[in-house]
């Protein structure tokens, strides 16, 4: 038996600027065990419920993460709206759906770029991020922010997106789709890309289910579990789509699922624009109307199922806000797939769960 050695991986590591730390127990070049530790960027955002009232908490929720900020705002607002029995107008529901799908496109494009960077395909990486930039421009036109959107509010949306803006978005999306088809090809059938991805980090469906995996990581193991179709929150119950799965169970399957989800997201945005009802985008909340009760919302973030728990006590300040993010659910499965892999594959495997440590630690 060869000797074992421990290599620390992170918190500063070559894959992406997210401070996850792994202690890799190695036997020669093979990883025997990976021991994760998190907690490097805990900011105590949930504790801010003591200082910020329930309207202001929307801004805090959005700042949990820079990539899924739309989803965090949506999840928190949805939970509070359920507590307060607010029925938001249909137009706001469709706009929320549309904006979350746009954020899915930009999140997955970011991930594809990082993946290309991890296996050393620099021009593909640049190309992915260039296309992502156009989605961010759309966000800036619609909400006024590229990363923090500040468009969600309790009771709907703060600003309406006029119909000519939506028509413009449709044209922009047509262009983005064309460009995407070009960059998707190397991911699907390039030999070098396949060598790095096929058969790397197999996660069997049983294990995926047992370890509570979420999002594209789970669906790449052949389990069709997507909160958008099971819960039908926002306007997802009025949109036609099927969860995308792949039965490959490896890193290649995860890439495939995410690429297909981008095209699906573009399709959902088009459906939203087609079906967009007219009318107001918010219901007023009276100054003396406070939430009282508790609620738990589940939404499908780009990275998987996220859970928002809000407990309110009938005053301006809520008692508790809790966010369970998809990356947190995916870490056990990550540790599982790492056992037995090559040291050189560790960056790719860390990347295939699309880690967002800022969300995880809040």
Binding site for other proteins (CB under 8 A): 52, 56, 59, 123-124, 127, 130, 133, 137, 140-145, 148, 150, 158-159, 182-183, 185-186, 188-192
Q: Of the two residues 137 and 174, which places its CB atom closer to other proteins in the complex?
A: 137
Backbone angles phi, psi at 22, to 5 degrees: -130, 135
Considering the complex, what minimum distance in angstroms separates the CB of residue 276 from other proteins?
19
CB of 130 to other proteins, least distance (A): 5
Closer to other proteins by CB, 31 or 151: give it.
Answer: 151
| SS (HEC) of the chain | CCCEEEEEECCCCCCCCCCCEEEEEEECCEEEEEEEECCCCCCCCHHHHHCCCCCCHHHHHHCCCCCCHHHHHHHHHHHHHHHCCCCCCHHHHHHHHHHHHHHHHHHHHHHHHHHHHHCCCHHHHHHHHHHHHHHHHHHHHHHCCCCCCCCEECCEECCCCCHHHHHHHHHHHHHHHHHHHHHHHHHHHCHHHHHHHCCCCCCCHHHHHHCCCCCHHHHCCCCCCCHHHHHCCCCHHHCCCCCCCCCCCCHHHHHHHHHHHHHHHHHHHHHHHHHCCCCCCECCCCCCCCCEEEEEEEEEECCEEEEEEEEEECCCCCCEEEEECHHHHHHHHHHHHHCCCEHHHHHHHHHHCCCCHHHHHC
Which residue's CB is nearer to other proteins, number 30 or number 130?
130
Q: Minimum distance between the CB of residue 323 and other proteins, rounded to whole angstroms? A: 18
Residue number with CB closer to other proteins (38 or 262): 262
- β-strands 21-27, 4-9 pairing: antiparallel
In the complex, least distance from residue 30 CB atom to other proteins, rounded to whole angstroms: 30
Nearer to other proteins, 187 or 233 (CB): 187
Q: How far is the CB of 59 from other proteins (least distance, A)?
A: 5
To other proteins, the closest distance from the beta carbon of 281 in angstroms equals: 13
Identity of the residue, 191 or 278, whose beta carbon is nearer to other proteins in the bound complex: 191
Q: What is the closest distance, in whole angstroms, from the C-beta atom of residue 123 to other proteins in the complex?
A: 5
Minimum distance between the CB of residue 139 and other proteins, rounded to whole angstroms? 10
Q: Regarding beta strands 156-157 and 292-301, do their DSSP bridges make them parallel or antiparallel, or are they unpaired?
A: unpaired
Radius of gyration in angstroms for the set of CA atoms belonging to the chain, rounded to a whole number = 21
User: Based on CB atoms, which residue is closest to other proteins, 190 or 342?
Assistant: 190
Q: Which of 57, 68, 4 is nearest to 291 (CA)?
A: 57
From the CB of 110, what's the least distance to other proteins, in Å?
16
Is the preceding peptide bond at 237 cis, omega within 30 degrees of 0?
Answer: no
Nearer to other proteins, 64 or 124 (CB): 124
Which of residues 9 and 54 has its CB atom nearest to other proteins in the complex?
54
């Amino acid at each position: 038996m060869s000797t074992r050695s421990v290599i620390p991986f992170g918190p500063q590591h070559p894959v992406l600027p997210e401070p996850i730390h792994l202690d890799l127990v190695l036997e020669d070049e093979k990883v025997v065990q990976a021991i994760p530790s998190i907690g490097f960027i805990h900011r105590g955002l949930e504790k801010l419920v003591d200082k910020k009232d329930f309207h202001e908490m929307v801004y805090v929720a959005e700042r949990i993460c820079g990539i899924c900020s739309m989803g965090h705002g949506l999840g928190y607002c949805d939970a509070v709206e359920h507590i307060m029995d607010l029925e938001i107008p249909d137009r706001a529901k469709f706009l929320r759906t549309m904006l979350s799908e746009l954020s899915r496109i930009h999140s997955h494009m970011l991930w594809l770029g990082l993946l290309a960077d991890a296996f050393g395909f620099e021009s593909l990486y640049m190309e992915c991020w260039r296309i992502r930039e156009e989605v961010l421009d759309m966000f800036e036109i619609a909400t006024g922010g590229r990363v923090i959107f500040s468009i969600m509010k309790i009771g709907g949306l703060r600003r309406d997106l006029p119909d000519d803006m939506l028509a413009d978005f449709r044209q922009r999306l047509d262009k983005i789709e064309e460009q995407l088809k070009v960059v998707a090809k190397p991911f699907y059938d390039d030999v070098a890309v396949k060598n790095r991805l096929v058969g790397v980090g197999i996660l069997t469906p049983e294990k995926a289910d047992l370890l509570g995996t979420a999002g594209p990581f789970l669906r790449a193991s052949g389990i069709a579990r997507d909160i958008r179709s099971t819960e039908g929150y926002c306007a997802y119950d009025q949109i036609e789509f099927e969860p995308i799965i792949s039965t490959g169970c490896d890193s290649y399957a995860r890439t495939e699922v995410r690429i297909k989800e981008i095209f699906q997201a573009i399709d959902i945005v088009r459906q939203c624009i087609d079906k967009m009802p007219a009318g107001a985008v918010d219901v007023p909340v009276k100054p003396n109307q406070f939430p009282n009760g508790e609620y738990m919302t589940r939404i499908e973030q780009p990275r998987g199922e996220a859970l928002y728990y809000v407990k309110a006590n009938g005053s301006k300040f809520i008692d508790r806000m809790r966010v369970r993010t998809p990356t947190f659910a995916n870490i056990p499965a990550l540790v599982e797939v790492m056992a037995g892999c090559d040291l050189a594959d560790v960056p790719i495997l860390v990347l295939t769960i699309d880690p967002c440590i800022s969300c995880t630690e809040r």
